[in-house]
Amino acid sequence: MSARILITGAAQGMGRAFTEHFAARGARVLAVDIQDVPIDLPGVRVAKCDVTDPDSLAEVVGIAQQEWGGLDGVVANAAIFDGIVRAPIEELTLGEYARVMDVNVKGVWLTVRAALPALRAAGGGSIVTIASEVVNAGSVNLSHYVASKGAVIGLTRALARELGPANVRINAVSPGFTETEGGLNLVGGAGKYDPKGTPLGRVGTAADVCGAVEYLLGEGSGFITGQALLVNGGKTFT
């Protein structure tokens, strides 16, 4: 895989899994996060980046352009999830709501906007945003998070129409519960999530989500844009 891919939120969880997955397949990966990215692999370039700051994003996209000549793909993964405040709407503070929307929605919008010149220069490319199954199912005391991921899907669909003429595709992946640090912390640890309501009868893994993202970044999905692909073992349907 010769692609040049920008992955945000790469320090842990799914972002780290995406980085390791694509590096193992020979891609050049620019792995960025507001924290230090503890990854040292061939083909991986790490950098600090605040996805809510346009200047910070412009700087890391500039790295890809200077060192690799551009980008072919983007995984807009950075989001607040691990450690998120879970509270009824009456108790949720405006500050917490704004913090989640700032990273989870504005951060995706700014990431796409910053990467577009590099994708256009390459003749097109593919963007994958990370949404969530909770948009379909809802979740108690997570109204801010659910709203943010619903906005990601809406943004993805709007941009699919806007960017198609530039040969830039954009799709969302909507994972169900997945065994990552954030997922396990949210449910209280390993073994706390009951998969009996899932037709495939098991919990999702990082590899499951990586496979979906790889498909949407690759040539096999060349006529797919504006879609939200559920990766949840069939627990909910679109």
Count CB neighbours of 201 within 10 A.
Answer: 10
pLDDT tens digit sequence for 44-77 = 999 999 999 999 999 999 999 999 999 999 999 9
For the chain, domain boundaries: 4-231
> Tell me, what amino acid is at 127?
I
Active site residue 215: no
Active-site entry in 97, 145, 193, 215 = 145
Q: Which pLDDT value is given to residue 186?
A: 60
Strands (E), the chain: 4-8, 28-33, 44-48, 73-76, 125-130, 168-175, 228-231
Q: Is the pLDDT of residue 182 over 70?
A: no
Over residues 13-31, mean pLDDT: 97
Looking at the domain 4-231, which fold is it? Rossmann fold (3.40.50)
